[in-house]
Amino acid sequence: LLLLDEPAAGLRYQEKQALAALLRALREEGMSILLVEHDMDFVMGLVDRLVVMDFGERIAGGAPEAVQADPRVIEAYLGAA
């Protein structure tokens, strides 16, 4: 199990791409990865499933596409429409 806390923080685009490729390779080799990250573009292109938390509470979880469309996630991170 690999635990990572904000590994993409401060990285440039190409560095993030290299990190993502490394994490994908590790996952393909059977490693489990727990990733805490605020860069949603980085996360959405990398994970099979995710959990979204807001002020320490789980507000959504599942496939990236479903989580992005969840009204609770939209309200918490984009503001109410």
Q: Rounded to 5, what percent of the chain is helix, strand, coil? A: 45, 25, 35
Instruction: Compute the mean pLDDT over every residue in the chain, rounded to the nearest whole number.
Output: 93
Q: Which of 6, 29, 37, 57 is catalytic?
A: 6
Q: Domain range holding 18? A: 1-37
Count Cβ atoms within 10 A of the Cβ of residue 67 and give its class: 0-12 exposed, 13-18 middle, 19 or more buried.
buried
**What's this model's pTM, rounded to 2 decimal places?**
0.81
Structural domains counted in the chain: 2
Active-site residue, 6 included: yes
69 vs 79: which has the higher pLDDT: 69
pLDDT in tens, 28-67: 999 999 999 988 889 998 999 999 999 999 999 999 999 9
- Residue by residue, DSSP assigns 24-49 as HHHHHTT--EEEE-S-HHHHHTT-S-
For residue 42, being part of any structural domain is answered with no
59 and 81 together in one domain: yes
33 and 1 together in one domain: yes
